[in-house]
Amino acid sequence: MAESEKNLEISSKASSSSSSMLLNRSFTMHATAADSSLPKLNYASLNRAVSSNKFYNSMESVLSASNSFKGKVKQLRNLFEPKKSSKKINLNEPESPQQHHLIKLTKPVKSLSLCYNNESSIRLPGTEDRIVVYLTSLRGIRRTFEDCYAVRMIFRGFRVWVDERDVSMDSAYKKELQCVFGGKNVTLPQVFIRGKHVGNADVLKSMYETGELARVLDGFPRRQPGFVCGSCGDVRFVPCGNCSGSRKVFDEADGVPKRCLECNENGLIRCPDCCSS
């Protein structure tokens, strides 16, 4: 009996110790799980909160910058654009003096003559019977080449003969143009009609659009549609017949080659078929 009682006590103690160990393990497991999970959740929530705050702050800065830019653009538009009147005019109602004044202001203004007049101080002597255009055929400067080409096409549309003086083909034309303008360097092209200075490409385009150029060119003889000079192809220059474009001729008296005096620096002369001078 004594042995059985001792065995019962030992078993009860073992069971109690094992149960206590299980309780302790569960407690430590729950405690460690809780302790390990809580900081992670707190850190994640803190990181999310920080990132969301940074995102909203960056968005607010972008919106404020865009609003300030829009405000500056609106101020500039208010400075340079005319203010639109919110008041509407009803055409069915009888006109009041104020409405009549507004209607007069909204009518388009007639364009005035820009350049061609008899009082022009710049003249080109010896060209009272023709149209003279100083231009260039080189494409070094795109805007200059496009303006020269546009002027040529406008005159070809009217089918009038034009004395085209290409400064890139003959440097004497450049000196001639500078002498006309008193030694000043001017842009190309420059147009003269009946010896009077008209202007550059912008002036000629505006005259063409308003119809003034057609009135000025009235009286000039017209050529056949699609006419092209058979000798020069409307280039206005041909190779020199004296030196064949070499710019040198052989002097039999001295027995040495000399400079040809009939052509320019490029060995060219004016076309004898389509150019009178």
Q: Go through the domains of the chain in sequence order and give each one's CATH number.
A: 116-227 (3.40.30.10), 230-277 (no CATH)
Question: At 7, which amino acid appears?
Answer: N
pLDDT, one tens digit per residue, over 154-207 is 999 999 999 999 999 999 999 999 999 998 889 999 999 999 999 999 999 999
pLDDT at 217 over 50: yes
Beta strands in 11-135 (DSSP E): 131-135
- Going by C-alpha positions, the residue among 208, 221, 210, 220 that lies closest to residue 153 is 208
270, β-bridge pairs: 237
Task: Name the least confident of 115-124, 213-222, 247-256.
Answer: 115-124
Strands (E), the chain: 131-135, 163-166, 190-193, 196-199, 237-239, 248-251, 256-259, 268-270
Could you give the C-alpha distances from 257 to 84, 157, 176, 248, 252, in angstroms and in order? 77, 46, 29, 6, 9
List beta partners, residue 223. Answer: none
**Per-residue pLDDT for 111 more than 50?**
no
Give the pLDDT confidence of 37-63 residue by residue, as tens digits.
Answer: 444 444 455 455 555 566 556 666 656
Count the alpha carbons within 13 Å of 3 in the hemisphere toward its beta carbon: 0
pLDDT tens column, 7-25: 555 555 555 554 444 445 4
The mean predicted confidence, pLDDT, of the chain is 75
Torsion angle of the four alpha carbons 225, 230, 234, 237, in this order, in degrees rounded to the nearest 10: -160
pLDDT tens, position by position, 75-92:
656 655 555 554 554 545
Are the C-beta atoms of residues 272 and 230 closer than 8 Å to each other? Answer: no
